[in-house]
């Protein structure tokens, strides 16, 4: 493909838009990692719950867009909390090995995915056309900017700022930041750790739902949609596991890398570039851009 | 035998060791004492290659071991125990010792013909060695070697008084026994220099008394040089003819137990002074 | 020695006991799954390196053998060995830079590598026929072939776990720093484990190709890798006989639910969570079957006394 300036701009716009969706997912994942230090593979499941909740509230029960979205966020948050309580909490109480949590989270992901396969079928669905504004703005030289691009960027900025405010300005936000440093000490200082972890999962679930709704608008809705979270994990790792600014930066880098590859090399190479990026990053700097290097005392 | 020469170690901006120089003579039993945070364990970590010093050199039997990796240094004949126990907790007591015993190395000096310099090399002790295919099919040297490893390990366990616990998982032993197992495991490497990192930590007086005998007995019977870290002064005073005292990462004093006890600087470090009460 | 004879007898039964075509298929599948699971168990259960990308080594073995037999007319047996060796080669190339990573980082890197290998196989149309798959492989994996290879590898595995190498792997799993201070070159230990496990997975992949007569990159996706690791955890981390029993059990359970294939994955997911919640140490913990025999004897003696 020939290099043109307009393609570059176009792909940067697409990349930022995709990256902002990744960011919503990656931040939730990173938040859980920062507290419990394990990779929550069920995160993709929460996203699917959000997507389907929004779909059914809109189409079957005919609620307005705002109510449906709100309902989807709550549903996904509740799914996350339930997962924590039913699957993770008993494991955490029994052992400190995060490996077990990791495998359980894979199990939960498979369960959620296949619950939808069994109940509503694997059919690909689409949110109704008029859910979100669909206008396309023509900029110069054939570059287009769709309303959904703007919307996803704006929503991501809003939600991430809200999260930032929550973490920095509220008591529970402070508790979460303390727990991210050392959860046991936070518990000893009188923080209700059980509630705190549930809260973190709820927030992560809500963010995943936002990501899920945008993904189902951008692509379509199907039970395996959650597998796209692998990309968000990669973004979080590139940025530095457990670091929220890292997750955002990593997501934007990943979104841009994907779209630029699609625009200038070939769209089949997209995933390959993403995975290579991950491996290269892990080799150069395993802790990511913002992560902490952990050293062990002997 | 072992010589540290102007060793400095910095972590971030903090000087963990500064200009550390001392010499451990062959067959000696040397103690290192000092208050918490004086850099005692850092010395062991630097000697055994866990850390590479920021500057300075370490010589073992005349050759410079500063740039070597941990496993290479161990193979030259240095073994150590750990302050916070690091056993292979899920393996049995016997397996712990056998794991070390299979790694016996014979080190020797080799003269580089062209450069003319002398370097130390190590090759596996043939009586502990068999290759991958022999382990896959349990043929050839496997049977004889495994039997020998088992016997040597049981002897060592007997020596530290753990022979009857051989089949127990190492992680389930009581604390004092785990410490003794660490000593047996280090001895299994048949080292020339044995470094014990706070072997008496967490032991009751009776156990410390037994430990005294164990350490002096090992020193007598195994033809070893021993370096002990302790902050129990009494243990060190009793068994070590030669003592090095550290404070704030620097050597404060060196000499016999009596000299150390009468050294005013040591007394200040331990009991505190008017300027800096600890 | 007694153990080996028992294993060989079980193998002879599996290989020559008269049974129908459907049961034969299950036995073959069981052998293949067990070989792959043993490979992952060596790495995850005995060396403590958690992997989520080992299906890629199966894919590599399968494609190597398929291409060698179909395109170049190589006899299937050397082609299977070549499949294993190809996986070894790749594991070594990958291991040199990535084995420095520990914990979740290696697991995530292995996802990336596994998926990258699958994508390369999918996109290298001229060589692998891409996503549509590679048909027309000779059905060289008969029941006796699969069983013989499985029993052979199983005996080797049990043997080397009970030797220098086994102790070396376990030492580096329990405490890598202490292992290096016992004279082990731990990066090399990890490499040994990775290379052996890749060999097993490569062989398993080659056998799978010969059994299905058709392979496709999507057969070796992240799901398959997860399954391999999950089976090892189910059997017990650090228990080879547990891994084998667990893998055989999961194969049978999955086969039993074949008719309600919709619910298959759901049950699989539930199984994973339930095991983690109620028995995270797996079927046998880190004990082998014959250890249990010892416990039983001790327990009986205690009861009698």
Lay out the sheet containing B29-33: strands in order across.
Answer: B78-80, B193-197, B225-229, B29-33, B242-247, B250-255
Strand, helix or coil at A177?
helix
Domain assignment present for residue A179? The answer is yes
Instruction: Give the whole-angstrom CA distance, residue A224 versus residue A116.
Output: 9
Q: Are B185 and B154 in contact (CB under 8 A)?
A: no
Where is pLDDT greater, at B117 or C249? C249
Q: Render pLDDT for C121-157 as a digit per residue (tens, 0 to 9).
A: 888 888 888 888 888 888 888 888 899 999 999 999 9
Round to whole Å and give the CA distance between C133 and C219.
9
The mean of the pLDDT values for chain C is: 87
Q: Which pLDDT does position B274 carry in this prediction?
A: 47
> Could you give the dihedral angle defined by the CA atoms of residues A100, A106, A109 and A114, in that order, rounded to the nearest 10 degrees?
-120
Residue A238 counted as domain residue: no
Tokens of A290: 């913002």
Per-residue burial over A152-170, b = 16 or more CB atoms within 10 Å of its CB, e = otherwise: bbebbeebbeebeeebeee
For chain C, the three-class secondary structure string (H helix, E strand, C coil) is CHHHHHHHHHHHHHHHCCCCHHHHHHHHHHHHHHHHHHHHHHHHHCCCCCCCCCHHHHHHHHHHHHHHHHHHCCCHHHHHHHHHHHHHHHHHHHHHHHCCCCCHHHHHHHHHHHHHHHHHHHHCHHHHCHHHCECCCCCCCCHHHHHHHHHHHHHHHHHHHCCHHHHHHHHHHHCHHHHHCCCCCHHHHHHHHHHHHHHHHHHHHHHHHHHHCCECHHHHCHHHHHHHHHHHHHHCCCCHHHHHHHHHHHHHHHHHCHHHHHHHHHHHHHHHHHHHHHCCCCCCCCCCHHHHHHHHHHHHHHHHC
Which of A48, A103, A235 to substitute to test the interface with C, most C CBs within 10 Å?
A: A103
Stretches in chain A below the pLDDT threshold 50: 1
Q: Which among C160, C170, C238 has the least Cβ separation from residue B135?
A: C160
Q: Which chains touch C (3 or more CB pairs under 8 A)?
A: A, B
Query: pLDDT at position B67, please?
Result: 87
Distance from CA of C277 to the nearest CA of A (A): 5
Give the three-state DSSP class for B109: strand
Cβ pair B189:C178 closer than 8 A: no
Instruction: Assess if residue A230 is contained within a domain.
Output: no
Identify all chain B residues contacting C159, using CB atoms and an 8 Å cutoff. Answer: 135-138
pLDDT digits (tens, 9 = 90+) for C28-56: 999 999 999 999 999 998 998 888 889 99
What's the pLDDT score for residue C33? 94
pTM of model > 0.95:
no
- Per-residue pLDDT band at B79 (split at 50, 70, 90): very high
pLDDT digits (tens, 9 = 90+) for B15-53: 888 889 999 999 999 999 888 778 888 999 999 999 999
Pairing of strands B225-229, B105-111: unpaired
**DSSP code per residue over A149-175:** HHHHHHHHHHHHHHHHHHHHHSHHHHH
**Host domain of residue A110:** 11-122+145-225
Which sign does the torsion angle of CA C74, C78, C81, C82 carry?
negative
Which residues from chain C sit within 8 angstroms of residue B103, using beta carbons? 182-184
Contact B224, B215 (CB under 8 A): no
Are the CB atoms for C212 and C255 separated by under 8 Å? no
Mean pLDDT along residues C2-15: 83
Q: Is the pLDDT of residue B117 over 70?
A: no
Count Cβ atoms within 10 A of the Cβ of residue B271 and give its class: 0-12 exposed, 13-18 middle, 19 or more buried: exposed
Cα separation of C226 and C25, whole Å? 23
The nearest alpha carbon in chain B to A297 belongs to: B84
Tokens in use for A127?
């949110």
Q: In whole angstroms, how far apart are CA A149 and each of A145, A230, B91, C267?
A: 7, 22, 57, 39
Domain tally, chain A:
1
Question: Measured between alpha carbons, how far is B133 from B141 in angstroms, rounded to an integer?
Answer: 10
Residue with tokens 């919709």: C262
> How large a percentage of chain C has pLDDT more than 90?
38
For CA atoms B60, B65, B69, B75, the dihedral sign is: negative
Report domain extents, chain C: 2-14+21-222
Tell whether B70 lies on the interface with A, counting CB pairs under 8 A. no
- Check CB contact of B50 with chain A, cutoff 8 Å: yes
Distance, CA of B172 to CA of B153 (rounded, Å): 19
Residues of A in contact with C118 (CB under 8 A): none
Q: Which residue of C has its CA nearest to A37?
A: C104
Q: Which of C164, C168, C170 sits opposite B130 (nearest CB)?
A: C164
Query: How confident is the model over B248-276, as pLDDT tens digits?
Result: 888 888 888 888 888 888 877 776 654 44
Summary mean pLDDT of chain B: 86
Strand A144-146 vs strand A136-138: parallel, antiparallel, or unpaired? antiparallel
Which chains reach chain B with 3 or more Cβ–Cβ distances below 8 angstroms? A, C
Interface test with C, best of B65, B79, B88 (most C CBs within 10 A): B88
Say how far apart CA C229 and CA C289 lie, in whole Å: 20
Plot region of B138 (φ>0 → left; ψ -120 to 50 → alpha; else → beta): left
Q: Are B186 and B180 in contact (CB under 8 A)?
A: no
| Cα distance from N-terminal residue to C-terminal residue, chain B | 35
Rounded Cα distance between C208 and C199, Å, is 14
Coil vs helix vs strand at B138: coil
- Number of alpha helices (DSSP H) and beta strands (DSSP E) in chain B: 10, 12
Tell me which residue has tokens 């299905």.
Answer: C212
**Structural domain includes residue A53:** yes
Exposure b/e, C225-240, CB count within 10 A at least 16 = b: bbbbbbbbbbbbbbbb
- The CA distance from A60 to A127, in Å, is 12
Identify which of C104, C107, C208 has the alpha carbon closest to the alpha carbon of residue C149: C208
Contacts of C138 (CB under 8 A, 6+ apart): C69, C70, C76, C210, C213
Tokens read off for C193: 């484990």
What pLDDT score was predicted for residue C24? 86
Taking residue C211's Cβ as centre, other Cβ atoms within 10 Å add up to: 21
Q: Which chain A positions have a beta carbon within 8 Å of C227's beta carbon?
A: none
Which pLDDT band holds residue C166 (cuts at 50, 70, 90)?
A: very high
CB contact under 8 A, A278 and C233: no
- For residue A163 the two structure tokens come to 């999260």
Spatial separation of the C-alpha atoms in residues B108 and B63, rounded to whole Å: 11
> What's the pLDDT at A292?
65
The single-letter DSSP state of residue B141 is T
Q: Enter the DSSP assignment of B92.
A: B
Does the beta-carbon distance from C186 to B100 stay under 8 Å? no
Count of B-C CB contacts under 8 Å: 87
Structural domain includes residue A270:
no
Residues 6+ apart with CB under 8 A from B151: none
CA distances C84 to B88, C80, C213, Å, are 32, 6, 18
Domains of chain B (ranges, CATH numbers) = 1-77+191-278 (3.40.50.300), 89-188 (no CATH)
Contact A151, A158 (CB under 8 A): no
pLDDT at residue B217, rounded to an integer: 92
CB atoms < 10 A from the CB of C260, how many? 11
> Of the given ranges (A10-19, C108-117, C255-264), which has the lowest mean pLDDT?
C255-264
ipTM beyond cut 0.90: no
Number of other CB atoms surrounding residue C290 within 10 Å: 13
CB contact under 8 A, C156 and B70: no
pLDDT value at position A81?
A: 94
pLDDT value at B92 more than 60: yes
Spatial CB neighbours of A116, under 8 Å, sequence gap ≥ 6: A48, A52, A223
Q: What is the sign, positive or negative, of the torsion defined by CA atoms of A42, A43, A46, A50?
A: negative
pLDDT in tens, C265-289: 888 888 888 888 888 777 777 778 7
Q: What are phi and psi of B229, to 5 degrees?
A: -100, 135
């Amino acid at each position: 493909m020939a290099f043109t300036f307009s393609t570059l701009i176009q792909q940067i716009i697409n990349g930022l838009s995709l990256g902002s969706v990744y960011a919503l997912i990656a931040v939730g994942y990173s938040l859980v990692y920062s507290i419990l230090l394990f990779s929550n593979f069920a995160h993709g499941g929460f996203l699917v719950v959000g997507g389907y909740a929004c779909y059914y509230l809109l189409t079957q029960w005919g609620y307005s867009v705002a109510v449906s979205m709100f309902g989807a966020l709550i549903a996904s948050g509740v799914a996350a909390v339930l997962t924590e309580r039913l699957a993770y909490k008993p494991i955490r109480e029994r052992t400190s090995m995060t490996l077990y949590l990791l495998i359980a989270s894979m199990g939960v992901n498979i369960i959620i995915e296949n619950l939808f396969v069994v109940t509503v079928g694997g059919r690909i669905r689409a949110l109704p056309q008029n859910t979100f504004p669909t206008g396309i703005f023509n900029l110069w030289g054939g570059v287009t900017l769709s309303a959904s691009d703007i919307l996803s960027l704006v929503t991501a900025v809003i939600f991430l700022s809200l999260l930032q405010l929550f973490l920095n300005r509220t008591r529970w936000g402070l508790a979460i930041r303390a727990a991210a440093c050392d959860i046991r000490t936070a518990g000893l200082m009188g923080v209700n750790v059980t509630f705190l972890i549930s809260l973190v999962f709820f927030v992560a679930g809500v963010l995943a739902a936002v990501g899920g709704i945008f993904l189902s608008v951008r692509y379509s809705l199907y039970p395996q949609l959650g597998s796209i979270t692998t990309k968000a994990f990669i973004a979080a790792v590139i940025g530095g596991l457990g670091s929220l600014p890292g997750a955002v930066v990593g997501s934007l880098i990943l979104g841009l890398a994907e779209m630029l590859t699609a625009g200038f090399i070939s769209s089949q190479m997209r995933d390959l570039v993403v995975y290579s990026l991950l491996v290269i990053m892990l080799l150069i700097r395993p802790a990511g851009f913002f992560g902490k290097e952990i050293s062990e005392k002997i | 035998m072992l010589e540290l020469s102007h060793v400095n170690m910095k972590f971030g901006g903090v000087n963990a060791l500064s200009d550390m120089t001392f010499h451990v003579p062959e067959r000696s039993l040397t103690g290192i004492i000092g208050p918490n945070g004086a850099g005692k364990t850092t010395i062991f970590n630097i000697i055994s290659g866990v850390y590479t010093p920021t500057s300075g050199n370490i010589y073992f039997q005349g050759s410079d071991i500063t740039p070597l990796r941990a496993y290479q240094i161990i193979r030259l004949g240095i073994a150590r125990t750990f302050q916070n126990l690091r056993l292979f907790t899920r393996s049995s007591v016997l397996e712990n010792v056998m794991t070390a015993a299979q790694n016996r190395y014979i080190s020797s000096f080799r003269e580089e013909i062209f450069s003319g310099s002398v370097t130390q090399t190590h090759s596996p002790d043939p009586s502990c060695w068999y290759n991958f295919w022999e382990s896959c099919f349990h043929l050839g040297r496997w049977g004889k070697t495994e039997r020998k490893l088992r016997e040597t390990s049981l002897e060592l366990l007997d020596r530290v008084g753990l022979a009857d616990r051989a089949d127990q998982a190492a992680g389930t032993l009581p604390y004092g026994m785990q410490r003794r197992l660490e000593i047996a495991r280090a001895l299994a490497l048949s080292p020339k220099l044995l470094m014990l990192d706070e072997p008496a930590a967490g032991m009751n007086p009776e156990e410390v008394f037994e430990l005294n005998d164990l350490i002096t007995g090992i020193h007598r019977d195994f033809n070893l040089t021993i370096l002990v870290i302790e902050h129990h002064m009494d243990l060190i005073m009793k068994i070590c003819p030669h003592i090095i005292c550290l404070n704030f990462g620097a050597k404060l004093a060196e000499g016999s137990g009596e000299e150390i006890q009468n050294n005013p600087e040591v007394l200040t470090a331990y009991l505190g002074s008017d300027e800096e009460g600890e | 020695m007694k153990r080996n004879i028992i294993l060989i007898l079980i193998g002879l039964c599996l290989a020559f006991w008269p049974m129908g075509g459907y049961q034969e298929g299950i036995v073959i599948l069981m052998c293949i799954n067990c070989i792959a699971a043993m490979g992952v168990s060596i790495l995850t259960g005995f060396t403590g390196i958690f992997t989520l990308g080992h299906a890629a080594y199966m894919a590599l073995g399968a494609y190597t053998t398929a291409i060698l037999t179909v395109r170049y007319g190589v006899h299937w047996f050397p082609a299977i060995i070549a499949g294993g060796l190809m996986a070894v080669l790749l594991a070594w190339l990958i291991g040199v830079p990535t084995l420095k990573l520990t914990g979740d980082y290696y697991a995530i890197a292995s996802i990336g590598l596994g998926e990258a290998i699958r994508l390369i196989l999918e996109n290298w149309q001229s060589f692998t026929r891409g996503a549509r798959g590679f048909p027309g492989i000779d059905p060289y994996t008969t029941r006796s072939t699969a069983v013989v290879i499985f029993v052979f590898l199983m005996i080797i595995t049990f043997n080397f776990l009970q030797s220098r190498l086994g102790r070396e792997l376990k030492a580096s799993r329990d405490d890598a720093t202490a292992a290096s201070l016992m004279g082990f070159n731990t990066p090399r230990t990890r490499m040994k484990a990775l290379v052996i496990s890749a060999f097993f997975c490569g062989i398993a992949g080659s056998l799978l190709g010969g059994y299905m007569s058709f392979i496709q990159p999507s057969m070796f996706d992240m799901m398959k890798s997860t399954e391999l690791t999950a089976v090892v955890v189910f059997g017990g981390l650090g228990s080879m006989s547990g891994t084998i029993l667990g893998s055989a059990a999961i194969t049978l359970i999955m086969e039993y639910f074949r008719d309600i294939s919709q619910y298959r994955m759901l049950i699989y997911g539930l199984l994973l969570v339930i095991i983690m919640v109620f028995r995270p140490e797996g079927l046998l913990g880190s004990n082998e079957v014959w250890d249990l025999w010892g416990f039983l004897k001790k327990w009986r003696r205690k009861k009698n006394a």
